[in-house]
Amino acid sequence: MTPMIDEVPVGPLIVTVLILFLIEVCASAADAALSRITRTEAADAMASGKRGGARVAAIVDSRSAARAALNSLRAISDIVAGAVLALLAADFLGAWWQVVLAVVVVALLVAALMGLFSPRRLGNAHPVRTLSFFSAPLLWATWAFRPFVKKDEDENGDDDLSVMMERMSESDELEDDERILLQSVIDMRDTMVREVMVPRTDMITIQKDTTLEKAVSLFVRSGYSRIPVIEDTVDDVAGVLYVKDIMRRTHRRFDTDELTVGDVMREAVFVPEMKPVDDVLHDMQADAFHMALVVDEYGGIAGLVTIEDLLEELVGEMVDEHDHAAPEVEMLEEGVYRVPARLPIDELGELFGLEIEDDDVDTAGGLLAKGLGLIPISGSKTDILGLHLQAERFEGRRKRLATVIARVEES
């Protein structure tokens, strides 16, 4: 051993290790309390005049800086404690591997003690009291770290929601479906419109100069109650047509032949595809509109979103009373079958003894859409690859094609 190691002050170093261990315990308790407390609880502590209440509120308002301070303090304590333990071990042991082994064993023992007598339990059980106790030094450390932490105005709100969700999950007062619903509300903050929209390729549109009679027919066949109105292309959206507006405009009138979609449509609302879902839902509630056209970064139409799309993010897929269980292949008469729209095209061909291959589509519904060159609606029919296909039934709020009538193409 070197003279330096022989002169190691054992007593002061042991005291230093104990102090560092105490700092680690206190920092862990404060960190748990900071993760548990909400801004409402902090504000109540300040309003009630509790000792340290104002400091607690200030700490919670700068939660990121406070966490950075606590994490830094714990890291420094661990590093210094490891170095001190190494000095102590080197004073009593000879070989380097014995020093390393001793430090590892002591570290494992400390970790076991921290797990057995976890200070985080204290912080979780009494967040306000714990933060109040450490508020003076923690507030000073928070101020010191604030310049190095980017302030996020929404962070505290997200933290509060997460804390409340955690507490609710630990209680038996909520049913599983209620817990899922609350989690969906939180997830909406991070969900963008483009994730829930009806894509451009699935949009049903109508020309501005179309007669109302044809518009009503399209509403009946498609099953929708709102349809975007376009000029020449999908990117030239002129407005939105509501079926109830047609009914109101044509009720007890005899000059409806002269009216077109452009006379009845409403002004279209546009939203960027990167807008959060909860913001769009709030706008729909505030401005009383139920459909918005989604615009991509280049100004083109990426799709559309309805209030039902947003509500599905909360409650899941919604179906109506006309929807049925998943269809199976059914022979209606000799050589005529009702098949699911999702039926693979090779299985569709087997029904008629045909070998059907297509590199573009995989299902009966896709084959029908390819033959039509557009989105099928009820009654749409086409001949393709030796088959005559007709769209039959649509299901769900988005009116997805459910079944197709298939027969051999007539020569």
Residue 286 and residue 334: Cα distance in Å, rounded?
Answer: 56
Please indicate, yes or no, if residue 115 is contained in any of the structural domains.
yes
CATH number of the domain encompassing residue 403: 3.30.465.10
N- to C-terminal Cα separation, the chain: 102
Residue 40 and residue 54: Cα distance in Å, rounded?
Answer: 13
Residue 262 or residue 161, greater confidence: 262
Averaged pLDDT for residues 285-290: 86
pLDDT above 90 for 228: yes
Does one domain contain both 156 and 21?
Answer: yes
Does one domain contain both 242 and 162?
Answer: no
Residue 389 and residue 386: Cα distance in Å, rounded?
Answer: 10
* Alpha carbon of residue 143 to chain centroid: 33
Q: What's the domain count of the chain?
A: 3
Mean pLDDT of the chain: 77
Backbone dihedral region for residue 271 (phi beyond 0: left; psi -120 to 50: alpha; all else: beta): beta
For residue 225, what are the domain limits?
194-315
What single letter denotes the amino acid at residue 56? V
pLDDT above 60 for 156: no
The segment with the largest mean pLDDT, out of 133-137, 236-240, 246-250, is 236-240
Q: For residue 107, name the pLDDT band (cuts at 50, 70, 90).
A: low
Please indicate, yes or no, if residue 91 is contained in any of the structural domains.
yes
CB atoms within 10 A of CB 88: 20
Task: Specify whether the CB–CB gap between 370 and 360 falls below 8 A.
Answer: yes
Does one domain contain both 212 and 152?
Answer: no
Does one domain contain both 355 and 305?
Answer: no
Residue 236 and residue 322: Cα distance in Å, rounded?
Answer: 34
Residue 303 or residue 166, greater confidence: 303
* CA 76-82-86 angle, 5° bins: 145
The count of C-alpha atoms lying within 13 angstroms of the C-alpha of 305, restricted to the half-sphere facing its C-beta, is 30
Which of 315, 342, 369 corresponds to the end of one domain?
Answer: 315
CB atoms within 10 A of CB 335: 11
